[in-house]
Structure 1
Amino acid sequence: MDTPKEKSGWSDRELEASIDAYLKMLDRELNGQTFKKSIENQLLRDGPLSKRSASSVEYRMQNISAVLEQMSLPRISGYMPAKNIGAGVAQRIRKVLASKVMPSAGEFAPTSDQRTLISRASNLQKKGLKVEPLGNPNPQQVSTTTTSYVRDPKIRAWVAELAKGVCEGCGQKAPFEVDGLPFLEVHHVKHLAQQGSDSITNAVALCPNCHRRCHLASDKEAFTLSLYGKVSRLVAE
């Protein structure tokens, strides 16, 4: 969406220049470095955005913030997400972002390491996820001494937040805390090894006892099936 005074559509070159400037500022913010939005705005208008006003550039940055928030990615705190962003604009921004390297992506990136997954999900849960993560229907497989799957910490954080510290299998409170949060293990009802998806419709937050029950108990199949009746978001795969 453009401001009322500028009805001409933004070119791909203008949009990419805006996103490049935004990501440069985001990298500085995430690394504790200072910058001035007004200076970056002026630099853009002195260069590739010479036909745009200061307010138009500001609003474009708010568009970018809105898309990043929708994608559960970090955004610049000084650019509040624009409201009612057009679907066409959002799609174009997503397309450009897909070709960029996100600053500090490692903090939010999927991982096959269990300890790293727990740490990243805890950080995400503390920050708060505003948009339900899309998940990955075909998680990447990596080979180590054993076979692990690259899992998205946003899925773990979202499911843990929905559980509110209560096991979705037995209804009991989490037995302890990790990183200041109630600890529940996120279990894929259809195992990833069975080509289950890494998504909130295939994941539940369980206490360690219920988690082990799903894997080891004599009634593990019956108990697993009972989860579909207890947790309404689950979809059988």
Structure 2
Amino acid sequence: MTSALFINGIFEHVLEDIEAVQRDRPSQECFLQPHSSGRVAMFRRVAPSVESPIRLYASPHTDFNFVYYVGEIVRWEDKQELTVARRRHIRRIIKEIQPDELELFDGNQTSGKDSVNLITVRSLRRLAIVLPVRHLIKCSDGQPYQERARAGKWSEVRDIGADVVSDESATLDMNRKVAELSMLSDEELRTRLKSAPALPQRRMVLSLDFIRNAAVIVAVLRRADGTCESCLKQAPFMKRSDGSPYLEVHHRVRLADGGPDTVENAMALCPNCHRRAHHG
């Protein structure tokens, strides 16, 4: 799986300034200078470029435990190794569009101790839905990134895409696209299928869930005794896990609409009736 870089605890004004510039000019070079004398190891192995950018996930210093920004890294440089011409070029850009970062950049010319990484980013934007950092998986050990109480430098993580949407909006978006494409002729649909990529893009879909009462589920299933409470037919199959009849507990008034999580508001349905209750 493709790697991405997560940087934890970037000063929020730095991210806001870059987003403001790149909102109208997505390809405009802007720079991040993490406060560390250690080099980003993954860039020694995989060099980002304009042709092959690496995804960037970033949390602000005001909230370490959520990803607020996503962008693309198109270059990494060690500031100690910059040529005079390259340093002059970068300084001109920073002075023009990131003036608050100029002192940090200039200070490195003499000390050479802190902030050796110079990361060029483009297309930085704030996510409409912030992403909990625990959804990021570290490449080093395959474990979720742990929440922190302070800035934790950076980590190589798996690339999960640039979009984070709600479960509801993802469903609505797919339904809209299906409705639009249903209007195409068979020939137009075949043409569309031929030009479509075989492998889908990735995105993170977050859902708001309810902590349901397990006792209600058990009581409703016992009441049904293996029979769908809508069509009155037997459950379509037995669960492999424990051999019990497979039925799904449905709320007559949805929890999302303020319905109570009670036995009286719930019923055991077969999969077909459950789908009909939601989509029929």
TM bin, normalised by shorter chain, reads under 0.3
Task: Select the structure of larger CA radius of gyration.
Answer: 2
TM-score, normalised with respect to structure 1: 0.27
TM-score, normalised with respect to structure 2: 0.24
* Structure number with higher relative contact order (C-alpha < 8 Å, ≥ 6 residues apart): 2
Structure (1/2) with the larger strand percentage = 2
